[in-house]
Structure 1
Amino acid sequence: MQKLRDKVALVTGGNSGIGLAAAKAFAAEGAQVVITGRRRTVVDQAVQEIGFGALGIDGDVADPAHHAHVAEEVTRRFGPLDIYMANAGVNQITHSADVSEAEYDMQFGINARGVFFGVQKMVPILRDGGAIILVGSLASEKVLDGHAVYAGSKAAIGAFARSWAIELKDRGIRVNVLSPGPVDTAILEKLGVPPEERASFTAAMAAGIALGRLGGPDELARAALFLASDASSFVTGINLRVDGGMALL
């Protein structure tokens, strides 16, 4: 039996990486999937990859009006929402002394503001007993060079989740954080790793992971599926680290 049959799931940043892998997993398990992303062409391509009648909506997650529009579209087309995965995020590695105001505002705008107002706008259309998954990061717990701003924005997500798990308990809505370690996705290119240095970069990264390798998007998708499904029906307010044991080293 499909784990998410007849459910409606929304994944922000579902056009690439972990978000796309999760959207595919949700759709394969029977959910009506809606994804959001910044670029229309990339969103459309992701919708084709997901299949199963997925819907894509483009917009800026840092803008509360975007989330209000998404909530209206989901309700109009599919009715109440069952699963909300706030996955959209951005990371720019810069030493604290060199961080500009624009860079700070950009990371907090997408990673923290985007999550806060996304949940605020989705809670009214979320079905009682629904699930909220906030994608955090290992960086919120483990100090990584050049990650101070990113880590701070992701640490805010953990505080949001704990508050919302209590605020929404009377509706039976579960709120959990999924915190990835290094994952082998296109984010490596976005961080400026040249193709010819990718192998050495990933090898150096893997040396700091207990399991000795980077994670795969499908592995994070399976963890997200656990938090979205009834398999985690008695789980709320947790931070599920899917990091290959990197936090231990």
Structure 2
Amino acid sequence: MNKLNGKTALITGGSSGIGLATARLFKAEGARLAITGRDRERLAAARAQLGDDTLTIVSEAGCLNEIEAMLAQVDQHFGKLDILFLNAGIAEPTPLEQATEAQFDSIMRVNFKGVFFTIQKALPLLKPKASIIVTTSITNRSGTPNFSVYAASKAALRSLVQSLALTLIGRDIRVNAINPGPIDTEGFNRLPLPSEVFHAIKSDIEDRSPIKRFGAPDEVAKVALFLASEDSAYVVGEEIVVDGGMTLVCLP
């Protein structure tokens, strides 16, 4: 316990799913917390779980002005950051023939551009021995025909983590990634698909998974805690896969 005692953590996309599970665990381990999200009601519900001392910020992850405003609030409230967990992201089907420029720009803006510029603009707040954690996806390791733009955005993050890990290690800031497989989150369950298609996809994933189930957000949160804490002090530029063995059967 108390692996994060005295640490300050910012979790983007922290109002549900993996982000909220991680916020609960970080709080239990002694961290002071700020979380972001786009939905005021979900943020309020998250704060009710986490406590009134949690800073909750309505923020659009892909908008530079909102990123700057969000970090200004963190600076005013805490004055520093020790942990930056970049978990906010969006996913929606983009079949090649039907994908639009607006969809492409929206996914890349939130999933890639937002991460890059949040790291850039958070640098003045990040203290030596800080840990940056980025959520990628197993789609960056296997073909995903109907989610090609989402998969490409996550592959870009995988590359970014490696490059920024080398860029920032001289400042004593570590950068790593968590690569979740199928996780039973609100985001997954809200995918804009017809009900019968959604359930067919979910059943197919469970059947193909070596562990025969979806992961739980808490299982990913435990890996985030490892990367956030001194337990991972010698881990730099890595992407830890949390997928129940899914990529073992998905990759050629």
After TM superposition, the score normalised by the length of structure 1 is 0.95
Q: Deviations over 1:5-38 (max 9, x none)?
A: 0100000000111111111111111000100011
Q: Deviations over 1:60-101 (max 9, x none)?
A: 111112121122211211121000000000001121121100
The 5 Å alignment of 1:3-22 reads 3-22=3-22
CA distance in 1, matches of 2:195, 2:2: 39
CA distance in 2, matches of 1:247, 1:198: 21
The 5 Å alignment of 1:141-220 reads 141-192=141-192, 201-220=201-220
Quick check: 2:94–2:103 contact (8 Å CA) kept in 1? Answer: no
Quick check: 2:132–2:228 contact (8 Å CA) kept in 1? Answer: yes
The 5 Å alignment of 1:119-138 reads 119-138=119-138
Q: Deviations over 1:191-237 (max 9, x none)?
A: 13567877654332111212111100000110111111111110010
Aligned length: 249
How far residue 54 of structure 1 moved from its aligned partner, in angstroms, is 1.0
Quick check: 2:92–2:192 contact (8 Å CA) kept in 1? Answer: no
RMSD of aligned alpha carbons: 1.6
**Alpha-carbon spacing, 1:108–1:199, altered in 2? closer, same or farther (3 Å):** closer
**Alpha-carbon spacing, 1:193–1:49, altered in 2? closer, same or farther (3 Å):** farther
Q: Deviations over 1:145-191 (max 9, x none)?
A: 31110011111111111111111111111100101001011123321
Quick check: 1:59–1:66 contact (8 Å CA) kept in 2? Answer: yes
**Alpha-carbon spacing, 1:196–1:142, altered in 2? closer, same or farther (3 Å):** closer
Residue ranges of structure 1 left out of the alignment (5+ in a row):
none
CA distance in 2, matches of 1:52, 1:133: 25
**Residue type at the aligned position of 1:2:** N
Quick check: 1:4–1:229 contact (8 Å CA) kept in 2? Answer: yes
Quick check: 2:138–2:179 contact (8 Å CA) kept in 1? Answer: yes
CA distance in 1, matches of 2:181, 2:241: 7
Aligned to 2:31: 31
Aligned to 2:41: 41
How far residue 51 of structure 1 moved from its aligned partner, in angstroms, is 2.1
Aligned to 1:89: 89
The 5 Å alignment of 1:80-119 reads 80-119=80-119
Quick check: 1:88–1:110 contact (8 Å CA) kept in 2? Answer: yes
Quick check: 1:8–1:32 contact (8 Å CA) kept in 2? Answer: yes
Give the percent of matched residue pairs that are identical in Structure 1 and Structure 2. 40
**Residue type at the aligned position of 2:230:** D
How far residue 52 of structure 1 moved from its aligned partner, in angstroms, is 6.5
The secondary structure found in structure 1 opposite 2:177 is strand
Quick check: 2:23–2:33 contact (8 Å CA) kept in 1? Answer: yes
The 5 Å alignment of 1:220-231 reads 220-231=220-231
Quick check: 2:59–2:70 contact (8 Å CA) kept in 1? Answer: no
Quick check: 1:32–1:52 contact (8 Å CA) kept in 2? Answer: no
CA distance in 1, matches of 2:244, 2:124: 36
Residue ranges of structure 2 left out of the alignment (5+ in a row):
none
The secondary structure found in structure 2 opposite 1:4 is coil
The secondary structure found in structure 1 opposite 2:145 is coil
CA distance in 2, matches of 1:93, 1:119: 27
Say if 2:69 is the partner of 1:69.
yes
After TM superposition, the score normalised by the length of structure 2 is 0.94
CA distance in 1, matches of 2:51, 2:199: 32
CA distance in 2, matches of 1:163, 1:188: 29
CA distance in 2, matches of 1:62, 1:192: 21
The secondary structure found in structure 2 opposite 1:176 is strand
